């Protein structure tokens, strides 16, 4: 979509088809649940993840005047969530944890134990990765983002994303094989 240049004296931008508030509402409807899931990869509990996503939408709404292309707003929002989650963890409030899987009909206790051990091993291997590798892997394999979308979200080049994905996968494989 094209950007409409605001008249002098106006403090916010308006894009064709969306008022600024409308863009935030539209993004909330389409992205909020996925963003909470993304945040759950970085913070321990759902409430903290929801709080981070809420803060991301607040920050997005304050920054709408700087967004020239509304098609990039979702990537900007994802990058806000990732950065807020990092800041949250740096303060030592929560640890990185994998989102619980969707519920299926009552599996056996043995299945739960095995699944939880496997998930803990994967999350542990992710935790040991450098931040960029972890970010790229989570965005690629949890949110199913393309290399270009990851690059836009993290503000890095396509080749950097590919490198981080390759190195992260190799490190995960080595880490998980060493635990077998």
Top pLDDT among 34 and 42 is at: 34
Q: For residue 4, give the 3-state DSSP assignment.
A: strand
DSSP label at residue 20? H
27 inside domain: yes
Cα–Cα distance, 42 to 169 (Å, whole number) = 18
The fraction of the chain above a pLDDT of 90, given in percent, is 36
pLDDT band at 43 (very low <50, low <70, confident <90, very high): confident
d(CA 8, CA 11): 8
- Whether 173 is in a domain gets the answer yes
The tokens of 14 are what? Answer: 């308006």
- Note the pTM of the prediction, 2 decimals: 0.58
97 DSSP 8-state letter: -
Domain annotation covers residue 114: no
114-167 pLDDT, tens digit each: 555 667 788 888 888 999 999 999 999 888 899 999 999 999 999 999 999 999
Contacts of 132 (CB under 8 A, 6+ apart): 154, 156, 160, 164
* Residue 82 falls inside a structural domain: yes
Range of the domain at 30: 17-90
At which of 67, 90, 113 does a domain end?
90
According to DSSP, residue 169 is labeled H
- Give the pair of three-digit tokens for residue 38: 């993304």
Q: Give the CATH number of the domain where residue 148 resides.
A: 1.10.10.10
- Number of domains present in the structure of the chain: 2
pLDDT mean across residues, the chain? 77
């Amino acid at each position: 979509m094209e950007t409409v240049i605001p008249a002098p004296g106006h403090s916010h931008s308006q894009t064709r088809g969306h008022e600024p508030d409308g863009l935030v509402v539209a993004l909330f409807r389409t992205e909020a649940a996925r963003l909470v899931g993304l945040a759950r990869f970085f913070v321990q509990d759902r409430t903290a993840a929801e709080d981070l996503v809420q803060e991301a939408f607040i920050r997005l709404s304050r920054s709408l005047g700087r967004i020239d292309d509304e098609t990039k707003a979702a990537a900007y929002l994802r990058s806000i969530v990732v950065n807020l989650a990092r800041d949250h963890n740096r303060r030592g409030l929560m640890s990185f944890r994998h989102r619980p899987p969707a519920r299926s009909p009552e599996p056996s206790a043995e299945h739960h134990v095995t699944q939880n051990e496997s998930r803990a091993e994967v999350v542990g291997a992710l935790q040991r990765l450098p931040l960029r590798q972890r970010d790229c892997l989570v965005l690629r394999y949890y949110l199913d983002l393309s290399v270009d979308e990851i690059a836009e979200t993290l503000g890095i080049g396509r080749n950097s994303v590919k490198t981080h994905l390759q190195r992260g996968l190799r490190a995960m494989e080595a880490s998980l094989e060493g635990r077998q």
